[in-house]
Amino acid sequence: MLTRFRDYGFIALGTLLQALAMDLFLVPNLLSAGGVTGLSQIVNYYTGWPIGVMIIIANIPLFVLGWKYLGGHRFAIRTIATVVGYSVLVDLLSPYLPKHLTDDPVLIALYGGLLNGIGMGLVFRGQGTSGGTDIIARLLGKWRGVPLSQSYLVTDTLIVFAAGLAFSWTKALYAVVVLYISGVAAEIASEGFDVTRVATIVTQRPQAVGEKIMRDLVRGVTMWTGTGMYSGEARTVLFCAVSRGEVNQLKCIIHEADPAAFVVIGQAHEALGEGFRPLKP
């Protein structure tokens, strides 16, 4: 119950921020938000029809498909809560918000994209979905194996192209900046700033290296045996995850225990479990 309450709190705050981004920055300055919202902006420009109402109407057939193929009741409830809440707020807040904060298109794109992306990320943290092209992308992935990134690229490119025809190509180029900033902000808001490093260590002294890492860094180490393709000899491989600030200390530890070790240090998207963030939804 507490988790569900937290999730809907994230969704509510996220939809509010997205609505503010639309009404304060994107709609008054004719910058497309991409997806169904961007399409609704274009229709609104020519007809004056409320953007929020059109977002709901456009999402109705997608709700049906999502219910049937993407998770039934759980999917539909959170999606409806997000889309309806967002659509209502876009139309409800619009008359009461200032329409001209700045003339600088860079600031408009920056803050509009940032606010929209943070809102989107909070919705994702609440396990919600923004509907629209998000549903289309997931369906394409399920039916045709199309990666989500490619689906979003195609749909958003088409909407931005249409916005270029409707508003101007300069506006369309700034809309691309908005989409990029929104994507980065959404990822940070939904998953945090933490960056984890993972180290793969090939060593002839696995016991010394592993024990020193566990003792000095208090990090777990996993060991397995591999085979060198060139030499054909068995090699011991160690694997461990550390925080970004522990990388230099890790390298010093490995060098002290085995100066001849071969080390590859990469960036992990996320680390969950003992010593890191808890493994929970």
Segments making up each domain of the chain, as ranges: 2-191, 196-268
Residue 35 pLDDT greater than 90, yes or no = no
Across residues 272-276, what is the average pLDDT? 70
Phi/psi zone of residue 202: left (φ > 0), alpha (ψ -120 to 50 degrees), beta?
Answer: beta
pLDDT at residue 186, rounded to an integer: 84
Across residues 169-194, what is the average pLDDT? 85
* Cβ-proximal residues to 187 (8 Å cutoff; 6+ apart), any chain: 121
pLDDT at residue 148, rounded to an integer: 56
Q: In what order do the strands lie in the sheet with 222-227?
A: 222-227, 234-243, 196-203, 262-268
pLDDT at residue 223, rounded to an integer: 93
CA separation for the pair 258, 205 (Å, rounded): 6
Place of tokens 């808890």: 278
pLDDT at residue 271, rounded to an integer: 73
Burial class (CB in 10 A: 0-12, 13-18, 19+), 188: middle
Q: What is the pLDDT of residues 218-268, one digit of tens each?
A: 889 999 988 888 788 888 999 999 887 788 889 999 999 999 999 999 888
Collapsing DSSP to helix, strand or coil, 138 comes out as: helix
Helix (H) or strand (E) holding 224: strand 222-227
CA separation for the pair 130, 121 (Å, rounded): 10
Pairing mode of beta strands 262-268, 222-227: unpaired
Tokens representing 26? 């994107």
pLDDT at residue 19, rounded to an integer: 95
pLDDT at residue 233, rounded to an integer: 83
**∠ CA(136), CA(140), CA(144), 5° rounding?**
170
The answer to whether the pTM exceeds 0.85 is no
Burial class (CB in 10 A: 0-12, 13-18, 19+), 108: buried
Residue 29 pLDDT greater than 90, yes or no = yes
pLDDT at residue 30, rounded to an integer: 93
Burial class (CB in 10 A: 0-12, 13-18, 19+), 144: exposed
Residue 187 pLDDT greater than 80, yes or no = no
pLDDT at residue 260, rounded to an integer: 92
* Percent with pLDDT over 90 in the chain: 48
Residue 180 pLDDT greater than 60, yes or no = yes
Q: Which fold has domain 196-268?
A: Alpha-Beta Plaits (3.30.70)
Residue 201 pLDDT greater than 90, yes or no = yes
Helices of type H across 145-191: 148-166, 169-191
Confidence of residue 75 (pLDDT cuts 50, 70, 90): low
* Cβ-proximal residues to 43 (8 Å cutoff; 6+ apart), any chain: 49, 54
Q: What is the pLDDT of residues 128-176, one digit of tens each?
A: 777 777 777 767 766 766 665 566 677 788 898 999 999 999 999 999 9
Tokens representing 218? 């208090």
Across residues 12-38, what is the average pLDDT? 93
pLDDT at residue 234, rounded to an integer: 85
